[in-house]
A and B are shown apart, each in its own frame.
Chain A
């Protein structure tokens, strides 16, 4: 059967067996090997990716179920060369050892912080309770997520401060919050929302397309330009800033339109 899946902002059309699991579609067909496969009973979570706005265990999702939908993998965290604060947190706080569970953990953490920017350690543990780590004993994973939430809070506070400085210098300085219908992604993100895959050569096999092929699900350039930078979007470091001004990841928009506040 033929299907089209939008992964990290790029569209991939492939001919696959109906029984192909989403994890194998991502890993073997698209060569996005950042998501891993660790069990056969949907217990371990090494395969966690986003299907639309929800973390799912992609070992228990058929690729066919993702036809026409958006998928976000670890390769779609961060933007351009910049790391998502969750990724930074894991590196700063030793939230990973072997790295095998890490992509799934980070994607769930990202989802959590989008909805709960200031979680308690207990809330973090609850959110991650469907995923197994064999190396870290979870402590540093929790600290990594706390680091990311604090980092995003302080980035947001800085940009709110910059925003209020701007406001003194004229009305055009204040910009609308990203609030379009799709504005539910985690961060200020333009079309290459999720890193190089959306634009780099590895994002697309011969059939992959990030240009508007046709059809309403296409998540390339037709996506709204307004869905770009909320108040916190500022420069290369601002790779995430919590709930305010969240961008629909992979939704499109023109990155060049984002401005860096003075």
Chain B
């Protein structure tokens, strides 16, 4: 049953009220964030804010070449620098068996290069000095002799016979091939294509981009030589997983390792992996006996930390003459960089790309992905991609628009005709995903109403008469988030279930420990709201503890929009356990049977006698007191749980983007962006909308300006914000938001998660809009980013290959 659709346009949100009166069932709703108090005062604690007594500073020497043999490294001059405490090289690490470390994809990655460097920016040496400027000075005193090797830059050339073999460190690796993977029914799909009335095919690139959180990556590693305890403050989205990995890699006992994520200035998947320099800082601390801080600069962040996308896709869509979409097929060449370090559940090497079936009722689908090594930084799964669903949605939404063009049908009408219907849910798509709930046509209709779709089409026609070019682009997306059921989903063998623990103090205040890790998503507020709603408390009465592995239960962290679906569920379930325990104690207090009690107005009340009731605070005091407790009930008022989600959750949305394109300059202006999102139950609508706003900006950026490009020699051309352009307040319109609500049937509070939806759904809306504007010129397709140069070149009939500098 779908809640009525709601339009929520721009306009003054006004202020959330102070909390007073917001408790129990009214705990959900837009309230200002608890965490803001420190950030608006500049009192956050980010990793670089940490200063420990005796702390030293690390810096990384990086390879200028994309592929080269290391002939020699001379560190004598650096070691002689008066402020340098240590210089670590690959050889130093190799002696301890630490020169290589496992990646999140069952490959290995160099910590510091030993035999060869394999991408420009790769870590070659680590200097530890008394201050950050001296550490950087000392890098220039290290002399490395390289023998340059031919580099593999173009993924399409990586499997050419005779291509240089990048991973000669791997025994039995004859070439640059990593894996082949496929999903769906090839025979059934091919049969449909052969018989179909209409088939449209298109190559399209989702270029290499980078999440570029405003805070770069960094760590402070502190190995206490007396206690043998290692404390690592780090920009990590998954502190517990990092702790376990550090134990496995270093051999340090896990109970003596503490990982702390303090405040994190944005993650977006960039802060999921363990980077070589984190390990170097740990080793630096072990070697010097002092804390070592390492913070990368922006160039290092862009050149060496996990990039996103770089999927070279070939997609085909088969339809009947009347516009019914029948099948989809795709083949993908995936550029993984020099090491396979993508972060996704281990059984899904191409992530969830096979959700490319999208939001439509298809008969069959098949996709095949081939992954290759290239001489570039490792990564690929990052930047709010929901494990490659960004790539999948881009592919299907572009194909649907291309089909509309081929058929001469309006793209909104074509989508409406083919969207899954509410009665089809739960729906198992041809590649095996079970979508939990959704009313897709309602969302699309709301977006069209908010946009004034028919008026826009009329305006477009009138403008075309005058030689002005505006475009209307649609994207309808289905997300799959909240990984995931542990029997199917693990990262490096760690099942993707999340723990939560809840403790209610004698005076009725609660402390919730969660395993997830906010990087701005507002968990200190939303998770307090979840517990408050379950226990009849105010969110101010609930403290959320996160980020410190010594104080929180195990879990897999925050990425893939999984916090609300998994940890949020865990929070609700642990609160319900506490409430059930409280029921038994309340019954003892009231001298009734627990069966006589009902939960209402935030209290356990005697059915039919509401004055006889006890709230959580009173129950907590009794639970810590001398009240005689029934058999089977322990004292105090605590609980813990591990939540193993039964399925992913499936948020979805309908987006419409209006652009104006200047054919003389190729410049694109995003005039309007209408976004209707359905993420099920919204705990805090203000925070949900903020998440959407941020992702929509990603769409403008990726569609129009962001790319990490390389030249033929392998030089990274996106190594600074002068080249890797990000949207500012001026490029972004005032977002117009709407909502529908189809709760998730399997989630304890019906919530689905929202963090990545807008990043997933928005780029195709912008690209479709620009190409819609350029339709009169007969341009079928042009790749992102649609910079003015790229648009102009497409208009001249010469679309650029945007990931390489050579045309």
Contact = CB atoms under 8 A, between A and B. Distances in A.
Interface of A: 17, 19-20, 24, 27-28, 31-41, 43-44, 46, 73-75, 77-78, 83, 87, 90-94, 96-103, 106, 121, 124-126, 128-143, 146-147, 195
Contact of B265 (A41, A83, A99, A128): A99
Interface of B: 10, 12-16, 32-33, 35-46, 48-49, 51, 131-133, 211-216, 263-266, 268, 297-299, 519-522, 686-687, 689-690, 692-697, 720-722, 726, 728-730, 732, 734-735
A219 B720 CA distance: 39
A97 B694 contact: yes
Contact of B46 (A19, A31, A43, A100): A100
A97 B298 contact: no
B40 A106 contact: yes
B141 to A, nearest CB: 17
B21 to A, nearest CB: 17
Nearest to A122: B730
A36 B215 contact: yes
A27 B215 CA distance: 15
Given A99-B265, A132-B721, A74 B41 contact: yes
Given A91-B32, A97-B521, A142 B729 contact: yes
Nearest to B265: A100
Contacts of B37: 91
Contacts of A97: 266, 520-522, 690, 694
Contacts of A28: 51, 131-132
Given A97-B520, A138-B729, A44 B214 contact: yes
B697 A98 contact: no
Given A35-B42, A100-B213, A138-B697, 13 more contacts: A31-B51, A34-B44, A38-B298, A43-B720, A91-B36, A94-B686, A96-B520, A98-B265, A99-B38, A125-B732, A132-B728, A134-B266, A140-B689
B721 A43 contact: yes
Given A91-B33, A139-B10, A96 B40 contact: yes
A142 B697 CA distance: 14
A236 B564 CA distance: 39
A256 B132 CA distance: 43
Contacts of A92: 14-16, 32
A32 B522 CA distance: 24
Contacts of B49: 27, 33
A38 B732 contact: no
B36 A90 contact: yes
Contacts of B729: 124-126, 128-129, 131, 133, 138, 141-142
Contact of A44 (B36, B48, B721, B734): B721
Contacts of B720: 39-41, 43
A32 B48 CA distance: 12
A100 B722 contact: no
B297 A99 contact: no
Residue of B12, B37, B41, B697 ringed by the most chain A CB atoms within 10 A: B41
Given A17-B133, A38-B214, A46-B214, A98 B693 contact: no
Contacts of B41: 34, 74-75, 77-78, 83, 87, 195
A73 B42 CA distance: 9
Contacts of A195: 41
Contacts of A31: 51
Given A100-B214, A134-B266, A40 B297 contact: yes
Q: Nearest 5 CB-CB pairs, A to B? A: A34-B42, A99-B39, A98-B520, A100-B265, A137-B693
B693 A136 contact: yes
A93 B15 contact: yes
B214 A19 contact: no
Residue of B43, B265, B521 ringed by the most chain A CB atoms within 10 A: B265
Contacts of B297: 39-40
Contacts of B298: 38-41, 44
Contacts of A129: 728-730
Contact of B721 (A24, A41, A78, A96): A41
B722 A134 contact: no
A195 B46 CA distance: 21
B695 A137 contact: yes
A132 B686 CA distance: 21
B735 A137 contact: yes
Nearest to B762: A137
A98 B13 CA distance: 20
Residue of B263, B266, B299 ringed by the most chain A CB atoms within 10 A: B266
A83 B36 CA distance: 12
A73 to B, nearest CB: 7
B734 A121 contact: yes
Nearest to B216: A38
Contacts of A134: 211-214, 266, 268, 694, 726
B726 A132 contact: yes
Nearest to A99: B39
Contacts of A41: 298, 720-722
A74 B40 CA distance: 8
B292 to A, nearest CB: 16
A31 B43 CA distance: 11
B216 to A, nearest CB: 7
A99 B694 contact: no
A14 B211 CA distance: 38
A36 B265 contact: yes
A98 B297 CA distance: 19
Contacts of A143: 12-13
B728 A103 contact: no
Contacts of A137: 690, 692-697, 732, 735
Given A33-B49, A93-B15, A98 B43 contact: no
B721 A39 contact: yes
29 contacts: A24-B132, A27-B49, A36-B46, A36-B214, A37-B48, A40-B298, A74-B42, A90-B40, A91-B32, A92-B14, A92-B15, A93-B15, A94-B686, A96-B36, A97-B690, A97-B694, A98-B214, A98-B215, A98-B265, A99-B35, A99-B265, A102-B39, A130-B728, A132-B721, A133-B214, A135-B520, A136-B693, A138-B693, A140-B690
